[in-house]
Amino acid sequence: MNLYDIIFYFFAVVTVGSAMVVVFSKKIVYSAFALLFTFFGVAGIYVLLNADFLAITQLLVYVGGILVLILFGVMLTTNTVTIDIKSGTMNLIPATIVIALLAGMLGGIFWTSDWFMSKQFGDIVHTTTTTEIGNALITTHVLPFEIASVVLLVAVVGAAMMARRERNN
């Protein structure tokens, strides 16, 4: 077992463990904070997958942006953070059955499928991908990139508008 493997398992455990806390915790605040670790773990896994740029993006966007948003949402929709938020559950039994089946199915498919593997895998040099992404964004992927920026703009404006109208009420 080399260092790579150890790091992988470490992140895997962090990711899955914290995700479980997110899902099964009774208090919503715990869930929110556990989500932080999940994002970190996922970022680590990105690194292991030679996606350094994405890992950084993950941290910035998710931890810095989305998580903060979520925490705000939690605070705004509940009276106080300290009080135990009874975030009840529903559909437990059918959900458990369906999810268990689904997990089994996914796992089974992933496990048994004979994936196409690149032959040059072993030759890949571990270098940064930032340059490549940058090039791609302004060459081959320029149209999606532009659309994405428009979407973001619309989202930001829309969100602001909704929040404001609500304030008027």
Q: Which of residues 80-109 bind other proteins (CB under 8 A)?
A: 85, 87-92, 94-96, 98-99, 101-103, 105-107, 109
Nearest CA-CA partner of 89 in 32, 23, 35, 36: 23
Tokens of residue 142, six digits: 């320029």
Q: Is 42 in contact with 15 (CB distance < 8 Å)?
A: yes
Q: Kindly report the CA angle at 157 between 152 and 160, in degrees rounded to 5? A: 125
Taking the complex as a whole, the smallest distance from the CB of residue 20 to other proteins amounts, in Å, to 6
120 binds other proteins (CB under 8 A): yes
Interface with other proteins: number of residues (CB under 8 A):
88
72 binds other proteins (CB under 8 A): yes
Rounded to an integer, what distance in angstroms lies between the CA atom of residue 32 and that of residue 67? 7
Question: Of 83 and 136, which CB lies nearer to other proteins in the complex structure?
Answer: 136
136 binds other proteins (CB under 8 A): yes
Q: Is 84 in contact with 27 (CB distance < 8 Å)?
A: yes
Rounded to an integer, what distance in angstroms lies between the CA atom of residue 2 and that of residue 142? 40
- Chain residues 3-42 in contact with other proteins, contact rule CB under 8 A: 4-5, 8, 12, 15-16, 19-20, 22-23, 28, 31-32, 35, 38-39, 42
Taking the complex as a whole, the smallest distance from the CB of residue 28 to other proteins amounts, in Å, to 6
